[in-house]
Amino acid sequence: MALVGTVLFCTSCGSLLNRIPPEKPTITCDVCKSCNKNKWLTSVTTRSRPDAFPSVLLQKRSGAVNQTMKSEDAETWPSTTQSCPSCENPTMLFKDVQLRGADEGSTIFYRCPKCNYRFNTNN
């Protein structure tokens, strides 16, 4: 008989054995009728530390979340030759976002790198 986790197998044929009370010393296999020792666990005690299972949620609840952003991870927008309506800067940064249905046009968000003026247009 082999105990794997909480599943007990017959050592003769490998079939799954039925669970029986711990007072009975043997389990008879329903498939091959061989006798197996009853090695079912009667109790399991586990111990763990609070830091054994780290999670973002636990860190947020403890207030210990420190996030840093690398410069290469920062959001970058491509540039275009459209001039800024506010400061006449010759280039604008833009981002194309699909906010409506797939059969409709996208929305283009513009941002001026000089004065940070923002506007959008619907395609």
**pLDDT value of residue 87:** 94
The CB density around residue 102, as the number of other CB atoms within 10 Å, is 6
Q: Comparing 56 with 24, which gets the higher pLDDT?
A: 24
Could you tell me the fold of the domain covering 77-122?
A: N-terminal domain of TfIIb (2.20.25)
The reply, when asked if residue 29 is annotated as ligand binding, is no
Helical (H) or strand (E) element with 56: helix 56-62
Residue range 38-60, pLDDT digits in tens: 877 666 677 777 777 777 777 77
Amino acid identity at 106: S
b/e burial code for range 76-87 (CB count within 10 A of at least 16 → b): eeeeeebebeee
- Count Cβ atoms within 10 A of the Cβ of residue 17 and give its class: 0-12 exposed, 13-18 middle, 19 or more buried: buried
Domain boundaries, the chain: 1-43, 77-122
Residue range 60-115, pLDDT digits in tens: 766 654 556 555 545 688 999 999 999 999 999 998 888 888 888 899 999 999 99
